Amino acid sequence: KKERKRPVRVYMDGCFDLMHYGHANALRQAKLLGDQLVVGVVSDEEIVANKGPPVLSMEERLTLVSGLKWVDEVIPNAPYEITEEFMNTLFNKYNIDYIIHGDDPCLLPDGTDAYALAKKVGRYKQIKRTEGVSSTDIVGRILLTFKQKEAGSMEATTDANVAVNQNTGADTYDKVKSQLSNFLPTSRRIMQFSNGQILRSARQLGDFLLVGVHDDQAIRDRRGYRPIMHLHERTLSVLACRYVDEVIIGAPWEVSRDMITTFNISLVVHGTVTEGSSVVGIDPYAVPKSMGIFQTITSPKPITTVSVATRIIDNHEAY
Q: How far is the CB of 294 from ligand CTP (least distance, A)?
A: 37
- Based on the shown chain and the rule CB under 6 A, indicate whether residue 79 belongs to the binding site for ligand CTP: no
The CA–CA distances, whole Å, from 198 to 201, 203, 263 equal 6, 9, 12
Q: Coil, strand or helix: which one is 98?
A: strand
Out of 56, 125, 134, 180, the only residue in the binding site for ligand CTP (CB under 6 A) is 134
Q: How far is the CB of 129 from ligand CTP (least distance, A)?
A: 4
Out of 114, 133, 309, 312, the only residue in the binding site for ligand CTP (CB under 6 A) is 133
Q: Which residues pair with 126 in a beta bridge?
A: 101
- Identify the burial level of 241 via C-beta atoms within 10 angstroms of its C-beta, where 0-12 means exposed, 13-18 middle and 19 or more buried: middle
Euclidean distance between the first and final Cα of the chain, in Å?
A: 58
- Based on the shown chain and the rule CB under 6 A, indicate whether residue 174 belongs to the binding site for ligand CTP: no
- Based on the shown chain and the rule CB under 6 A, indicate whether residue 45 belongs to the binding site for ligand CTP: no
Residue pair 277/222 in contact by the 8 Å Cβ criterion: yes
Of 133-141, 193-201, 235-243, 265-273: span binding ligand CTP (CB under 6 A): 133-141
Residue pair 190/239 in contact by the 8 Å Cβ criterion: yes
Q: How far is the CB of 44 from ligand CTP (least distance, A)?
A: 13
Residue nearest to ligand CTP (CB): 102
Residue pair 242/69 in contact by the 8 Å Cβ criterion: yes
Residue 76's H or E segment, with its range, is strand 73-78
Cβ distance to ligand CTP smaller for residue 12 or 287: 12
- Based on the shown chain and the rule CB under 6 A, indicate whether residue 141 belongs to the binding site for ligand CTP: no
- Based on the shown chain and the rule CB under 6 A, indicate whether residue 59 belongs to the binding site for ligand CTP: no
Mark out the alpha helices in the chain (DSSP H runs): 21-32, 44-51, 58-66, 84-92, 116-120, 135-145, 159-164, 170-180, 187-193, 198-202, 216-223, 231-239, 257-262, 286-290, 305-314
Cβ distance to ligand CTP smaller for residue 20 or 149: 20
Binders of ligand CTP in range 2-41 (CB under 6 A): 12, 14-17, 22-23, 26
Contact pattern from residue 90 through residue 119 relative to ligand CTP, giving x for each residue in contact according to CB under 6 A and a dash for the rest: -----------xx-x---------------
Q: How far is the CB of 139 from ligand CTP (least distance, A)?
A: 9
Q: Which residues pair with 11 in a beta bridge?
A: 38, 99
Out of 135, 145, 235, 237, the only residue in the binding site for ligand CTP (CB under 6 A) is 135
Q: How far is the CB of 91 from ligand CTP (least distance, A)?
A: 19
Q: Which residues pair with 99 in a beta bridge?
A: 11, 124
Distance CA 174, CA 113 (A): 36
Cβ distance to ligand CTP smaller for residue 10 or 306: 10
DSSP character for 158? Answer: S
Of 125-133, 203-211, 274-282, 299-307: span binding ligand CTP (CB under 6 A): 125-133
Cβ distance to ligand CTP smaller for residue 13 or 245: 13
- Based on the shown chain and the rule CB under 6 A, indicate whether residue 185 belongs to the binding site for ligand CTP: no
Q: Would you tell me which residues interact with ligand CTP (CB under 6 A)?
A: 12, 14-17, 22-23, 26, 101-102, 104, 129-130, 133-136
